[in-house]
A and B are shown apart, each in its own frame.
Chain A
Amino acid sequence: MAKMTKDQVEHLARLASLSLTQDEVEKYSTQLSAVLEYVEALSELNTKAVEPTHQSSGLENLLRSDEINAEQILSQEHALREAKETHNGYFKVPPVLLKDQ
């Protein structure tokens, strides 16, 4: 039976950049195990010969000319308007790698 252990929940949270409390880890472990158990029903169908469906529009390779549409471009000022921190006209992002790591 499919189970989601607390270690797995913590691992997934790290991958998805979520910080969870211990209570949340416990709760999600129980709830996600239940969901995985529910979807286990799919394994009773033999799908070896079935092609997967990624989308339903039936369209393929829609092309457009590689031209800049000036109406679609936000000005730098406009683009930065909602950012909490900017620097010299750029978005300021938190560090990913630190010196002593």
Chain B
Amino acid sequence: MKLPLTISKVQEGLKSGDYSCVDLVDMHLGRIRAVDHKLNAFITVTDNYAYDLAKKHDNTIANDKKAFENFPLLGVITSLKDVYLTEGIETTAGSNVLRGYAPQYSSTVVKKLEAAGAIIIGKTNLDAWAHGASGENSDFGSTKNPWHLDMVPGGSSSGSAVSVAAQMATISMGTDTGGSVRLPASFCGVTGFKSTYGTVSRYGVVSMASSLDSMGHFTHTVDDAEKVFNIIKGTDSLDSTLSDRSTSLKKSYKIGLAKEYFEKGIDVQILQSIEEVRDLFEGDGIEFVDVSLPHTKYGISAYYIIMPAEVSSNLGRYDGVRYGAGRDALGEEAKRRIMMGTHVLSSGYAEKYYLKAQKIRTLIREDFDSVFTKVDAVIGPVSPTPAFQLGERVEDPIEMYLADILTVNANLAGLPAISIPSGFTSSGLPVSYQLIGPHYSENILFSLGKLYQEKTSFHTKTPTI
């Protein structure tokens, strides 16, 4: 049987009795057994747990006439980046430090997904501690791109993107601190959404850089991205950075073309694809306006000061006393970031680096504030290139860091953004574009994205593997 791609297809099949929740778990576990030895997307597969939930939900469907209204994600097979704490289920953050660690509680997002009827099928691979742009920096081995096994899937939420692209899960939770949802979504040809900082609870998610960490998710469609967001958003007494603000929809929209996102170094096939996206939107009456975000090029430098500073502080807790292994188990990239962060915060350097980077952060935020008085969203590439070769950048941290050059500014400014598939290169690798909106403008990004996907079918393509 063909696996359903979207939440509504999953639930149509459940309603019509084509399959049960248990059948859905069977089908997805079958898919994991068939392809994951090539892809390495999962660290833990929670088969027994998934079957328990599926049986419970099948019972609900049989007995509750309003089952699908009461549980909007009923039967939706879900994978979780292995930074989401799951009570009693191993949570590793992709690092040997947490190998074997079984958390005493679950994250708020996991609780909300389960309360809505989602079925957790497993925990996905990632660059250790979410440090990386390629998925290669995991203590559990690299994840592979399902469109081309010699290519990286993008990171750090590598296994999450791959689990959705290769149909081992219908939806997957990731995290986006500097592009870690949008980048792998674009490399794997799925929809990747990053929420506004302060809309989705970070409670119970292994912290990377606390002023930048945003929850995000992978789906095939923008419609599903919106459905998942509506479940997981909202205030939480356990995360004091949250608010319930949102934006109303409008009758017409303007999209900004920031010239700084189209400067040299962007792959021509990506540029070509964005031209086509523009034509399509313009055909729907959406106006494109040239705008400028003059401090864009400073974002990556500010990010690679602020992020490691916060990383060095957050990773300070891993001393092997209360849980996990000691600091000798930390990997190469984590140690590199801890030392960089310790340096930029140390006496004599904090002003030169850390304070300076925070001031640049203000300039980047003000650039966006000013542009969003003229337009409703900004469009740009997600990455300068499509997926690159495994191994190509592992020895050169700066080359690797530059993969984030077009994504980090949304994190520095705390803005929502969405990566949407828009075609394929001549060698068959997915290409995407991103829309970045003002704070709390998720509704508008979803509305634009749905409009685009009504007219295109790139998001329905799946890799043959």
Could you tell me which A residues sit within 8 Å of B by CB distance? 4, 8-9, 12-13, 15-20, 24, 28, 31-32, 34-36, 38-39, 41-43, 45, 47, 50-59, 62, 64, 69, 72, 74, 78-79, 81-84, 91-94
Contacts and interface: CB of A to CB of B under 8 A. Distances in A.
B356 A93 contact: no
Contact of B305 (A32, A39, A45, A81): A39
B322 A83 contact: yes
Contacts of B316: 16
Give the most central of B211, B237, B302, B342: most A CB within 10 Å. B342
Contacts of B363: 45, 47, 50
B89 to A, nearest CB: 13
Given A32-B343, A38-B301, A43 B356 contact: yes
Interface of B is mostly: helix
25 contacts: A8-B343, A9-B339, A15-B342, A20-B335, A28-B336, A28-B339, A31-B336, A31-B397, A34-B397, A35-B340, A35-B401, A38-B398, A39-B304, A39-B357, A45-B295, A47-B356, A51-B359, A55-B241, A56-B412, A57-B241, A57-B243, A58-B198, A74-B105, A79-B322, A82-B323
B335 A42 contact: no
B327 interface: yes
Interface in B330-365: 330, 332, 335-336, 338-340, 342-343, 346, 353, 355-363, 365
Interface residues of B, number: 58
Contact of A18 (B238, B321, B338, B357): B338
B197 interface: yes
B339 A12 contact: yes
A20 B104 CA distance: 32
Nearest to B243: A59
B99 to A, nearest CB: 12
Contacts of A84: 320
A24 B330 CA distance: 13
Nearest to A19: B328
Given A53-B358, A57-B198, 7 more contacts: A16-B342, A18-B335, A24-B332, A42-B360, A47-B360, A53-B361, A56-B412
Nearest to A85: B321
Nearest to A13: B339
Interface in B101-117: 101-102, 104-105
Contacts of B359: 47, 50-53
Contacts of A72: 238
A91 B295 CA distance: 48
B206 to A, nearest CB: 14
B388 interface: no
A4 B340 CA distance: 10
A13 B338 CA distance: 9
A8 B335 CA distance: 14
Closest 6 pairs (CB-CB, A-B): A56-B414, A52-B358, A82-B323, A57-B198, A47-B359, A39-B301
B18 to A, nearest CB: 40
B284 interface: no
